[in-house]
Structure 1
């Protein structure tokens, strides 16, 4: 995988921008991506809350005011796409447009405004794209994907690269408000009756439930802020199922505006939180998952993933994203790839146990190691930590993010923890923290050797030989030896329980 990206060079940054317009039951959203990529980067994101799905199940029609709001939003989005020079625009419509009697007329108006075909997704198609979104953004996904919109809930089983047949239910927040007459008690019965019979949930026990959709992200955001969680990144936020169940009970039982930190949720989204909580509560009760994984990836990202060539789908999204940042922000992108090889040799000779996932994270960290070099030296560690911890990476969980951020922090600041938030350290295990310190210390040796330029590290191997950590500086590179090299090498050697030596001459 690394070899494919390594050889791509500046080709990583080629390609035209693409946009996806999602005409949902609750909102209409435009997301413009830098280009079609294994790790798509949004460069513009805007939504308009239109409520197209409100009362569709009882009246059978889209509300005229909601239609006007949606069409106005689409006119704005089309102009924005034109001004931004977007190469390709994809338009998707979901439950409200497919279920309403006047849906075809609305879709025709949308097509005229957007100047491109509108794909009206069936329930199964929507479930498939949601699952592809998870497949795109989660490393080794295994569980059931649930996409809760304003009009419907889609479920699909996902294991490795295999996506099971999808199913849809009229259990979106607006739909539940409508059919229950805004009674949570009636909504509870509707949800229970429909989900109890679903075979997808029979296979969820002991696995992960992947929650997709704005209402569930809002619930997770509220949970995140209530517990004072240190990393405000929604994708990959994991809530143990039992804890999620208790939180759902709280949200549905307490007046919504009295909840702690409800100010973190928009006014428009708040009325739907109890309905989202009811659905999630029954999904957990019936399916008995181990965890609830909150995903920022969904239908839009699933569509982009589907559009990729088969070979590109196999690329690691984390390595892809790190390689792109390395390409545009490092002093010498080639140095990052050399650092991977250099640390590979060091780790292999050291005898330090390293899992496949830990090696993958180390490779990503090497590619990210020089992205903050333009900052003032006193703040490079802090800037790197904040940038990496909060970057729009996919394919990495929160402990993995924290490892990457900590390793680069240590690379700049040394193994000094006084100015480092203890909450970030709490996200990683003792083992991962130790690996971050070792990698940071190794990088401190590498950068003082190479001055961040390529060509030196391949000639100055670092390895454990005869019980000592040895750095080879042969021939014309011997003058690189000195007190600073020796001190940094000694620090690294202590971390792995060895003595150090510089083989110069």
Structure 2
């Protein structure tokens, strides 16, 4: 067992202890009571744990992942994605107590764990119990990455290391599956300007998630129209993304689902929706409503979005202005999409042509 204090990108003190599952089982002579005592004595050497009080404990390695898998099965967690799976301190304490009783085959959900891994789970649970007692973390966050990925990361040049893994993966999916990656990047810029025009504030992570959602907005276009929302949601919900937690992943999936299946469709993926806080769901609907407006006007072709602009007019009215050369796009259907956006954002919107007519939407 290796414990390391990490703050941001700063790597602090670390210690290595003889508490791997197989080794601990041998040292304790198959006694979980003895294993707990050994773990407690060894962890007393890890003074750095005291500095972790109230901070997350990031669990890296196969034993931790299998414990997390069992916790997922036991709690009927709706998303089978290991990376950044979070377990609250209270839930972890109750769960580990049950696993550490050694009757592992009787634990609910054990069928979801490989038989080869099951015998070591109680020893992993004992060690994690003692870590939590010494550290008192706020929660446990599970990593699907490990030492090998860290080594590969160390071989990257500085520019690659600083790249956002979520944005990089989303852009790769856009290149592989969308009609135009240029259009996807235009959507990133247009939604940023639209959020600003609407006065919608964003945290750093919310801006990242909007960026990623815009890149992913067209990845389902090859599917039948009735299934684009479901297919897109499934790809995003289960993609090999890093740099995003499960609520953020739910935001990305729901934004894409709402974009295809309608922003007022309450029946969409309730199990995924349950993972996102209300603020994320609201943002996902707003972002999807913006996408539904602009995709109707651009037909996913690049070069159109940069020519659309928002204008502030009298009495708090906000106008989406088309250039005169795109006046043929002016009509009731885009006005109807704009009306949905107006409704969900509670704003007074107008569709207009530069130097020409305008249409209020309700």
Q: Distance in 2 between matches of 1:160 and 1:154?
A: 18
* Distance (whole Å) between structure 2 residues aligned to residue 394 and residue 330 of structure 1: 21
State the secondary structure of the residue aligned to 2:116: coil
Alignment pair present for 1:391 and 2:243:
no
The whole-number CA distance in structure 1 between the counterparts of 2:310 and 2:273 is 28
2:151 corresponds to which residue? 303
Residue correspondence of structure 1 range 121-140 to structure 2 within 5 A: none
Residue number in structure 2 paired with 1:250: 98
Task: For residue 481 of structure 1, report the CA deviation from its aligned partner.
Answer: 1.1
User: Are the aligned partners of 1:385 and 1:408 in contact in 2 as well (CA < 8 Å)?
Assistant: yes
Q: Please show how residues 270-419 of structure 1 align to structure 2 within 5 Å.
A: 270-419=118-267
Q: Aligned equivalents of 1:207 and 1:363: distance in 2?
A: 28
What whole-Å deviation, never above 9, does each CA across 1:291-350 have from its counterpart, x for those lacking one? 100110110110111001012111111111111111111100000100011111111111
Counterpart selection for 1:440 from 271, 288, 294: 288
Counterpart position of 1:484 = 333
Q: Which runs of 5+ in 1 are unaligned?
A: 1-152
Which whole-Å CA distance do the structure 1 matches of 2:146 and 2:182 have between them?
A: 34
Q: How many residues align?
A: 353
Q: CA deviation at 1:246?
A: 1.4
8 A Cα contact 1:346 1:463, kept in partner: no
Q: More displaced, 414-423 or 473-482? A: 414-423
1:74-119 deviation digits (Å, cap 9, x = unpaired): xxxxxxxxxxxxxxxxxxxxxxxxxxxxxxxxxxxxxxxxxxxxxx
Q: Distance in 2 between matches of 1:437 and 1:275?
A: 45
In structure 2, the residue matched to 1:182 is: 30
DSSP 3-state at the match of 2:120: helix
Q: Is the 8 A contact 2:13 2:48 kept in 1?
A: no
Q: Could you tell which deviates more after superposition, 480-489 or 465-474?
A: 465-474
Residue of structure 1 in register with 2:9 after alignment: 161
Of the three residues 299, 309, 317, the one matched with 1:468 is 317
Residue pair 1:469, 1:493 contacting (<8 A) in 2 also = no
The CA deviation string for residues 369-410 of structure 1, in whole angstroms up to 9 with x for no partner, is 011110111000001111101100000000000000000111
Q: 1:245 to 1:305 in 2, by over 3 A?
A: same
Q: Determine the structure 1 residue equivalent to 2:345.
A: 496
Whole-Å separation in 1 of the counterparts to 2:261 and 2:310: 21
CA shift for structure 1 position 190 = 0.4
Q: Distance in 2 between matches of 1:274 and 1:469?
A: 61
Mark the CA change 1:503 to 1:381 in structure 2 (over 3 Å): closer, same or farther: same
Q: 1:431 aligns with which of 279, 287, 290?
A: 279
Q: CA deviation at 1:165?
A: 3.5
Cα contact 2:321–2:352 (8 A) shared by 1 = yes
Counterpart in the other structure of 1:217: 65
Is contact 2:102–2:122 with CA below 8 Å preserved after alignment? Answer: no
Query: What's the CA shift string for 1:20-47, capped at 9, x where partnerless?
Result: xxxxxxxxxxxxxxxxxxxxxxxxxxxx
TM-score by length of 1: 0.69
Aligned equivalents of 2:165 and 2:317: distance in 1? 37
| Residues 236 and 249 in structure 2, CA contact (< 8 A), matched pair in contact too | yes
8 Å CA contact 2:87–2:139 kept in 1: the answer is yes
Q: Structure 1 residues 395, 248: closer, same or farther in 2, change over 3 A?
A: same
CA distance in 1, matches of 2:133, 2:94: 11
Distance 2:272 2:114 in 1: 27
The question of whether the paired residues in 1 share the 8 Å contact of 2:234 and 2:253 is answered with yes
- In the TM superposition, what is the alpha-carbon distance from 1:463 to its structure 2 partner? 5.5
Q: Contact between 2:184 and 2:216, CA under 8 Å: does it hold in 1?
A: yes
Alignment of 1:229 with 2:77, yes or no, is yes
Secondary structure of the corresponding residue to residue 166 of structure 1: strand
Query: Using the alignment, how far apart are the partners of 2:318 and 2:128 within structure 1?
Result: 53
CA contact (8 A) 1:350 1:463 kept: no
Question: How much does 1:416 deviate?
Answer: 3.7
Deviations 1:132-162 (A, max 9, x none): xxxxxxxxxxxxxxxxxxxxx0111111110
Q: Does 1:206 align with 2:68?
A: no
3-state SS of paired residue (1:268): helix
Q: Kindly indicate whether the alpha-carbon contact (under 8 Å) linking 1:350 and 1:464 is maintained by their aligned counterparts in 2.
A: no
Q: Distance in 2 between matches of 1:220 and 1:241?
A: 13
Is the contact made by 1:381 and 1:409 (CA closer than 8 Å) also made in structure 2? yes
Asked whether the 8 Å contact 1:345–1:463 carries over to 2, the reply is no
